[in-house]
Amino acid sequence: MNHVLSVAGATKKFGGLVAVNEVSFDINEGELIGLIGPNGSGKTTLLNLISGALKPTSGNISLNGALISGQPAHKIARQGISRTFQLVKVLPGLTARENVIAGAVFGHTHVWGDEAEELAESLLEKVGLSDRGDSPTGAMTYIDQKRLELARALAGNPSVLLLDEWLAGLNPSELKIGISLIRDLRNEGLTIIMVEHVMDAIRSLCDRCVVMSSGVKIADGEVNQVLADPEVVRAYLGDADA
């Protein structure tokens, strides 16, 4: 039983709307799982429950056996969960280097001063932003902002990394770069949950995927098997019809 992350019966209600309904799954160390589903099926809400941006209405989430659900986001971050956001969030008033350092000072890692600068430099290089440390971030291109956000999430040396449509909005050549970057992270042994609409990415990266529809988990298993599941196909086609 070395589940890094366990989600058990996680539920989130917004008034009458049940955005996440009794979702359960476990993730093993080093796994890269895809979390897919039609628009509005509750994927982002589920990530919000895991990262602590929202508190679950009911259900438990634990990290390495310790309960984290119900705790505020900063405490969960300190225990080793990092994330990126569906609508990319960089800190526009800070340089690229400072954006990355921000992820390494208060959370799961505590470095400061020269050590933080060195870490930031190596992460910027890793995501393909070497020599861009002093750049103001407000004027960066979309893919560069996404890279920067990933570097900030990695700076916390997370036990689990949550990516919310990190590949969305990239052009085909950028997509290739993005996919190989995530593959590298997986090969280093990082545990990742990626929410994604880009099926090619899911197919080429994930060992396993979880499918949601209207807040409910409708499938969980090996990628090709899950994508051939009639219920999954119906969920997606139903979405296309609508």
Ligand X SMILES: Nc1ncnc2c1ncn2[C@@H]1O[C@H](COP(=O)(O)OP(=O)(O)OP(=O)(O)O)[C@@H](O)[C@H]1O
Can residue 213 be called a binding residue for ligand X (CB under 6 A)? Answer: no
CB 196 within 8 A of CB 170: no
70-78, 79-87, 115-123, 142-150 -> range binding Mg ion (CB under 5 A): 79-87
Can residue 87 be called a binding residue for ligand X (CB under 6 A)? Answer: no
Structure tokens at 156: 């916390």
Cα–Cα nearest to 30, from 207, 149, 164, 178: 207
Radius of gyration of the chain (CA): 18
Size of the site for other proteins (CB under 8 A): 29
97 binds, among other proteins, Mg ion, ligand X, none (CB under 5 to 8 A by kind): none
Scan residues 36-55 and list those touching ligand X (CB under 6 A).
37, 39-45
Can residue 34 be called a binding residue for ligand X (CB under 6 A)? Answer: no
Parallel, antiparallel, or unpaired: how do β-strands 208-213 and 17-28 relate? unpaired
Q: Which is nearer to other proteins, 76 or 210 (CB)?
A: 76
> Of residues 8, 91, 175, 199, which one binds other proteins by CB under 8 A?
91
92 binds, among other proteins, Mg ion, ligand X, none (CB under 5 to 8 A by kind): other proteins
> Of residues 41, 44, 109, 213, which one binds Mg ion by CB under 5 A?
44
Direct distance between the N- and C-terminal alpha carbons of the chain, in angstroms, rounded to an integer:
42
Hey, what long-range contacts does 196-202 have (CB within 8 A, 24 or more apart)? 196/34, 196/35, 196/36, 196/163, 196/165, 196/166, 196/167, 196/168, 197/36, 197/165, 197/168, 198/167, 198/168, 199/36, 199/227, 200/175, 201/167, 201/175, 202/34, 202/36
Which residues would be at the binding site for Mg ion (CB under 5 A)? 44, 86
Residues interacting with other proteins, by CB under 8 A?
Answer: 51-53, 72-74, 77-78, 82-83, 85, 89, 91-94, 98, 101-103, 105-108, 112-114, 152, 156
Residues that bind ligand X (CB under 6 A): 14, 17, 19, 37, 39-45, 86
